[in-house]
Amino acid sequence: MHIIGLRPSQLKERSQILQKLFKRLGENTLIEQPFFCDYGYNIEAGKNFYANHNLVILDATEVKIGDNVFIGPNCGIYTAGHPVEETKRNEGIEYAKRITIGNSVWIGGNVTILPGVTIGNNVVIGAGSVVTKDIPSNSIAYGNPCQVKKENPAK
């Protein structure tokens, strides 16, 4: 299944394809083209989810995205990884670790989220960050590697 060939105005058709592709996709979702994933059936996204152009999700295992999540352009969510040890890597060994993104999260453009990361609720991840470790709820974090820089007050 692919979205290639659909016009940007064909929102209904795009939504129908994504509903079939994803394990779960909440209402009021818009994923801009192009969008790439490995399988799709390992991805769950809540309501009010928006992803800008060029989102890549390598979903060799579960990717859970909460409600009210906004993802900037050119972002990658990668559950897959390879061993550091040369001989094992050259054998084609791969692993996958679940990624969880909480509710009310804003991920800036060009962010990379690595295997096994959990991002809490009410988090802002600054543009260009590489998220290598968990980010707690109510945080503003950025950098390479991404680190919490200050608290993000709750409502």
pLDDT in tens, 33-55: 889 999 999 999 999 999 999 99
Residue 3: inside a domain, yes or no? no
Cα 49 off chain centre by? 11
Residue 88: inside a domain, yes or no? yes
Active site residue 53: no
Examine the pLDDT at 98 and tell me if it is beyond 60. yes
Span 115-144, average pLDDT: 98
Residue 144: inside a domain, yes or no? yes
CATH number where 143 lies: 2.160.10.10
Q: Helix or strand or coil: residue 45?
A: strand
How many structural domains compose the chain?
A: 1
pLDDT at 14: 82
Residue 82: inside a domain, yes or no? yes
Give this prediction's pTM.
Answer: 0.93
Q: Which of 82, 89, 133, 149 is catalytic?
A: 82
CA–CA distance, 86 with 101 (Å, rounded to integer):
31
CA–CA distance, 100 with 94 (Å, rounded to integer):
20
Residue 5: inside a domain, yes or no? no
Record the tokens describing residue 88, joined without a space: 């094992």
pLDDT at 3: 54
Residue 34: inside a domain, yes or no? yes
pLDDT at 15: 85
Point out which residues pair with 105 in neighbouring strands. 123
